[in-house]
């Protein structure tokens, strides 16, 4: 898949978040929502998304909280503690955006995967727990649990991939707690570790691509 096969169809903020939508010329109907990490913008996960699913429509969304020269998804107190009202407010807003974007661009949410990295992955896990039934398939890179008060959500229809970095000394120690949390809520959980730090790369793309094509585990 060459860069020329992608057409940047949309770059706008009319649905509550600034986002870019990329539709390949030979799109299959698969959709990949991309949620970036802290201090950057919506374009940073686009190359990874194309590598993972070259024929999927990509919806690259920008977090609404300013951080340095970029953006994040909710307010941080410390590197591992977060403002709970901000998490819930932004999770509610993103849940609304997902439905609106699907209707506006005729996207099939049953054929949609959500890919989040770091802060973006953390908001995705919060959306899953606070808005059950919306996110059915999610790949979370370098995540950690961030909600202090978790509702009794049923995630038995949800497939989740979590990829931690072996040398990610700040965040990798929290990944097992998220694996346990989502598993306790019924999610079909696949947890992996790659030999990297907090950064993502080709190993992540290969794992996510394999996971997307693998059949779900039998219940």
Q: What is the pTM of this model?
A: 0.94
Q: Are 160 and 136 in contact (CB under 8 A)?
A: no
Residue 211 token pair: 């996971």
DSSP H/E element including 35 = strand 31-35
What secondary structure does DSSP assign to 152-219, as a single string?
----TT-EEEEEEETT-TTTGGGHHHHHHHHHHTT-EEEEEEESSSS---HHHHHHHHHHHHSPPPP-
pLDDT band at residue 182 using 50, 70 and 90 as cut-offs: very high
Give the number of other CB atoms < 10 A from CB of residue 96. Answer: 15
Q: What are phi and psi of 98, to 5 degrees?
A: -60, -45
Give the pLDDT score at 14: 79
Give the pLDDT score at 68: 85
Residue 8 pLDDT > 60: no
List, for residues 183-195, the tens digit of each pLDDT value.
999 999 999 999 9
In this structure, CATH architecture of domain 3-213: 3-Layer(aba) Sandwich (3.40)
Give the pLDDT score at 13: 76
Distance separating alpha carbons of residues 94 and 17, to the nearest angstrom: 8
| Pairing, β 188-194 against β 70-72 | unpaired
List, for residues 112-142, the tens digit of each pLDDT value.
999 999 999 999 999 999 999 999 999 999 9
pLDDT band at residue 43 using 50, 70 and 90 as cut-offs: very high
Q: Are 146 and 167 in contact (CB under 8 A)?
A: no
Residue 3 pLDDT > 50: no
Least confident of 7-11, 96-100, 132-136: 7-11
């Amino acid at each position: 898949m060459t860069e020329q096969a992608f057409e940047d169809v949309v770059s706008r903020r009319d649905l509550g978040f600034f986002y870019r939508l990329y539709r390949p010329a030979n799109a299959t109907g698969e959709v990949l929502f991309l949620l970036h990490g802290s201090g950057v913008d919506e374009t940073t996960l686009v190359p990874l998304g194309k590598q993972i699913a070259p024929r999927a429509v990509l919806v690259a969304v920008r977090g609404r909280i300013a951080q340095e020269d970029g953006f994040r998804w909710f307010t941080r107190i410390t590197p591992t503690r977060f403002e709970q009202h901000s998490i819930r407010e932004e999770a509610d807003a993103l849940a609304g955006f997902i439905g609106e974007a699907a209707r506006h661009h005729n996207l099939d949410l049953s054929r949609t995967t959500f890919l989040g990295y770091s802060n973006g992955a953390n908001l995705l896990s919060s959306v899953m727990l606070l808005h059950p039934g919306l996110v059915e398939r999610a790949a979370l890179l370098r995540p950690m649990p961030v909600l202090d008060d978790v509702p009794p959500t049923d995630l038995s229809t949800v497939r989740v991939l979590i990829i931690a970095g072996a040398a990610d000394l700040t965040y990798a120690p929290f990944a097992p707690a998220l694996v346990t949390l989502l598993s306790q809520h019924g999610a079909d959980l696949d947890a992996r570790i790659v030999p990297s730090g907090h950064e993502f790369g080709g190993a992540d793309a290969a794992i996510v691509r394999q996971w997307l094509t693998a059949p779900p585990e039998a219940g």
